[in-house]
Structure 1
Amino acid sequence: MEDLYRVLLVLHLLGWAIVLGGVLVNLRSAKIPKGVLHGILTALITGVLMVGLAESSDAIRDPDTTKITVKLLIALVVTVLVVLGVRKPRRVTTGYLGAIAGLTAVNVAIAVLWR
């Protein structure tokens, strides 16, 4: 169980890295590449799977439900922004991409700093 959790954690972090990197690289052109959509979906799904695995296993520490709720809400907002930006590219501006990058950074900071 612990090994599966760690694999999911790596995939989760890679998903967030794809989102942040893809958005920052495309700030000048103000577009959302398809890879960012795949990254956020990877991060969202692996995050949910990690919480489920942690809740069902005695070997993994139970997650803080308040922290997980805040992180899930931020991830859902980022997901909606990315999906809307991919479907309607004309709405994407540098501020729009900045919001996605900022929320991504906040989500990572919460994961690391909230104890």
Structure 2
Amino acid sequence: MNWLYLAVAVIFEITVAISAGKANGFTDLPWTISTLISGAIGTYFLSLALLTFDVGVGYAIWTSIAGVGIVIFGALFFGQCLNWKKVVGIAVIIGGVVGLRLSGAV
């Protein structure tokens, strides 16, 4: 169940980043509300996941997977550049997450 909580937290963290980007410095009220609510929900599910994950490992996995998701969503839906350097960075992040998982700390 902890992985499900972490997955939900990642989805809401991606939503936070997208909403914050659209909020125009918190001047666009609907996107601002989306940012704040998504942040609260994501943090809640992260806290549930951290009941069984080591805090540092769970947080590292959460931010890493969300970061990769944000880059991919940006490339797919917002016309942001996804060059080979970003792909290499994503591969390194995924390798780090796998390494944390294999360390038995999760």
If the length of structure 1 is used for normalisation, what is the TM-score? 0.45
Greater relative contact order (CA < 8 Å, ≥ 6 in sequence): 1
If the length of structure 2 is used for normalisation, what is the TM-score? 0.48
